[in-house]
Homo-oligomer: A and B are copies of this chain.
Amino acid sequence: MIGKLVVIGVGLIGGSLACALRKAGAVGEVVGVGRGRENLELAVRLGVVDRYALDATAEVGDADVVVVGTTLGATRGVLERIAPALGPDTVVTDVGSTKASVVAAARAALGAHFPRFVAGHPIAGTEHSGAGAAFAELFVDHRVILTPVAETDGRALARVRALWETAGARVCDMAVEDHDRVLAATSHLPHMLAFTLVDMLACADDADDIFAFAAGGFRDFTRIASSNPEMWRDIALANDTALLELCQSFSARLARLADAIRAGDGAALELSFRRAKEARDRCLIPEANARRQ
């Protein structure tokens, strides 16, 4: 049971976590904090939070848990602002898509309070955003990755884990670097490829023709290119090391594929396509796994 929860950035993720904890009766009071009064008023109206405040510093002193649900680019500034006002036992966590940058920012910003910071990343989302998109079931059966470091306080970690489990998530711990590498592969690189392809086609002379003849495969493949540009700018910059390494591996493989096409090497093409199909069919059975991930 959490007495007071402060959610800074009441968007899809922070808002849904608040909804889930309120619905489970696991929290006494939820205070939403943000810069947009309209979104915060909506959050109160929809019952996502109990009340809201525009200034986090006045709210975090007696909070049991503070969830930073802002964009990656804003996280460091938020942590710096709240650091002097945090109560001695207040646990701070975040929901950002990259972890090395967040952990570094927290270490720098929180100082002596850093052991009570637990970096986290729920693998869940929809294409919608804002408090209006929040719903209590968003995390049910989804994974949440926590990336504690050597200094992280065991009780703080347990508290954050319990909070996500209450929301229905399957929580696991991972090293910071492993998280960033795995997410670069499954999420950040695919987004870069989709953005790059659609941008390339949009800039073509016959862009209208091209899009007019796009079929279902193109629609699925490029869905993630409709994601929020600022958010993905921040992610690309925050996870630059892992992402650049994967971009390079990918480019080398694409060059090898082009070589095979140029050489008319059907066997090499078929081998690569078959390996991909088998891996995907084996690892991503839509019906069985979709709800769990």
Contact = CB atoms under 8 A, between A and B. Distances in A.
Interface of A: 123-125, 142-143, 145, 178, 181-183, 185-187, 189-204, 206-230, 232-234, 236-237, 240, 243-244, 247-251, 253-255, 257-258, 261-262, 264, 266, 269-270, 272-281, 283-284, 286, 290, 293
A200 to B, nearest CB: 5
A123 B219 CA distance: 13
A226 to B, nearest CB: 5
Contact of A276 (B195, B278, B281, B290): B195
A145 B293 CA distance: 39
A221 B219 contact: no
A236 B261 contact: yes
Copies in the complex: 2
Contacts of A222: 190, 280, 284
Nearest to A204: B185
B284 A211 contact: yes
Contact of A192 (B226, B229, B257): B257
Given A123-B213, A215-B293, A233-B273, A197 B202 contact: no
B218 A221 contact: no
B253 A196 contact: yes
Contacts of A221: 190, 193-194, 220-221, 223-224
Task: Count chain B CB atoms within 10 A of each CB in A225, A232, A254 and give the residue with the most.
Answer: A254
Contact of A237 (B196, B216, B264): B264
A30 to B, nearest CB: 26
B258 A293 contact: no
A282 to B, nearest CB: 8
Contacts of A248: 258
B274 A229 contact: yes
A218 B212 CA distance: 24
Contacts of A275: 199, 202-203
Contacts of A125: 215-216
A290 to B, nearest CB: 7
A284 to B, nearest CB: 6
A226 B186 CA distance: 16
A163 to B, nearest CB: 20
B243 A280 contact: no
B220 A280 contact: no
A229 B271 CA distance: 8
A126 to B, nearest CB: 8
